[in-house]
Structure 1
Amino acid sequence: MTHEAEAAHRAAAQPIADERTAAEPTAAERAAAEQAASREAADTVLQAFGGVRGMIDITLPGLVFIVAFNITHQVATAAWSALGLSALFVVVRLLKRETIQHAFSGVFGVAIGAWISMKTGKAENFYLPGLLWNVGYCIALAVSALVRWPMIGVMLGPVTGEMFTWRTKNPGRLAAYTKATWAWVAIMGIKPLILFPLYFTHNVNLLGWLKVALGIPPLLLAMYVTWQILLKAPPPIKAEIEEDEEEAEAEK
């Protein structure tokens, strides 16, 4: 091949090479895309735990109970007031066609507490189911992390669209979900450690006000820590992508 032909060949091939180079993302672009995907996944934390409305649904009934009890000094009146508010939350969500998961779980817990407190005549028993649930929740979180099915991953997987690909395809996210789950154990474990001793003192006022005060702040802290952990984790692998790859392999 002459020099002129070789030069012409290189000139003709250059645009194709340029197009390929332009089509392929650079390392910086890939890193930015992964960071954006990780941030998007991390931003689902608040949504998965019911958002601000979900926190209000589980906090306000306890506040109404202690206020009503201080006004009337009647366990039944306070219990029915809290239960009525929880039921109202469910009705409002139904009318707005919103998810009732968090509102319904709230009314269920309030109903049990109301029944126990009215049955025993002891106002502090209104808070007993919530305290026991906190202990059980922390134990479940710890067990899930130990068996490599961290509950935070189980809860967030469907929200992010990755389902359970983080268990087999994304070890970095498995590690992040495990770390986040242990963070929830530590943060949410503070509540029963503080409140259970108060329960046995029968100081209803202090128990009630502290229960309300320790409702939202630990949740927000746990969510923030989870968000920070997931920001640094690899982006999620969408379940649909994995299914498409499996179908392609099967066709081969």
Structure 2
Amino acid sequence: MTSLDKPTDHGTTDQGSPDQDADSRAVTEAALFEAFGGVRGMVETVAPGLLFVTIFTINKDLHMSAIAALAVSLVLVVVRLVMKDTVKHAFSGVFGVAFGVVFAMMTGNAKDFYLPGMLYTLGLALAYIITAIAGVPLIGLILGPVFKENLSWRTRNPGRKSAYTKASWAWGLILLAKCAILFPLYWWADTTQFGWVLIALKIPPFLLAVWLTWVFLAKAPAPIDVFAEMEAAEKAEKEREAERRQA
């Protein structure tokens, strides 16, 4: 067992000072903001669908609505490229919109524009729950690299593993609840009604899940910076090598 895998007392240490707690919460907030895209990420998530349902509500033109939604998602990617910002959230939006456009064009049913996103949400909900049950919570796999702890939380930081497990359950159940509302409406409601309900359910469940994740992680032990540990180990090895050469 290497030094990076050995269990530590991170899960059982006493609470830090108020300043340390504040720093930990600030780091958690920053990491969540980075991982989930922040305000701009939410805009990129909502804007294409909002434009689609707005145009379709006005003129019931599927082609115009689909082209407008795809165009605005591409514009958002270009804006990020121009600003030399990360494009992962914008690109995911483009792919989602593109799949929606293809489905809607193939079936001729404007409501099918939303179907790929709904299926993705359902799959993501199941992934959160299944990985939480399996002991490898998905939210930990997502946030581990952001906190520079990678998978150290699995064996070395049981308090954080517990927090990630709770957060994954929260995400999974919230997304399942969202699906429980949307899938029946997909069959019963007309396209305009369904579209506006879906837009209304874009941000609130997401914010609730992010907030619960923050609550769980803010109370958890601090992450173990494995990158710093590896750098320290490498530096110590170089120093020992230099001492052997001088001897």
Work out the CA distance in 1 between the residues paired with 2:178 and 2:105: 24
- In our comparison, the structure showing a higher alpha carbon Rg is 1
1:50 aligns with 2:24: no
Q: 1:185 aligns with which of 148, 172, 183?
A: 172
Q: 2:131 aligns with which of 139, 144, 156?
A: 144
Work out the CA distance in 2 between the residues paired with 1:73 and 1:116: 17
Spell out structure 1 runs of 4+ moving beyond 2 A: 27-34, 240-252
| 1:202 positional shift | 4.9
Work out the CA distance in 2 between the residues paired with 1:188 and 1:112: 20
Q: Which residue of 1 aligns with 2:118?
A: 131
Partner SS, residue 115 of structure 2: helix
1:153 aligns with 2:140: yes
Q: 1:63 aligns with which of 32, 42, 50?
A: 50
Partner SS, residue 158 of structure 1: coil
Q: Which residue of 2 aligns with 1:211?
A: 198
Q: Which residue of 2 aligns with 1:221?
A: 208
Work out the CA distance in 2 between the residues paired with 1:137 and 1:28: 35
| 1:214 positional shift | 0.3
Work out the CA distance in 2 between the residues paired with 1:226 and 1:29: 19
- Report if the CA contact (8 A) 1:41-1:236 is conserved: no
Work out the CA distance in 2 between the residues paired with 1:157 and 1:40: 16
Given the two structures, how large is their TM-score scaled by the length of structure 1?
0.83
| 1:156 positional shift | 1.1
Structure 2: gaps of 5 or more residues: 1-12, 242-247
Q: Percent identity?
A: 46
Q: 2:24 aligns with which of 34, 38, 49?
A: 38
Partner SS, residue 159 of structure 1: coil
Given the two structures, how large is their TM-score scaled by the length of structure 2?
0.85
Q: Which residue of 1 aligns with 2:71?
A: 84
Q: Which residue of 2 aligns with 1:13?
A: none
Deviations 1:25-74 (A, max 9, x none): xx999534642453133212122101111111011111111111122211
Instruction: Answer with 170-179 or 156-165: which moved more.
Output: 156-165
CA RMSD of aligned residues (A): 2.2
| 1:146 positional shift | 1.6
Partner SS, residue 160 of structure 1: coil
Work out the CA distance in 2 between the residues paired with 1:29 and 1:163: 23
Tell me how many residue pairs correspond in the alignment: 226
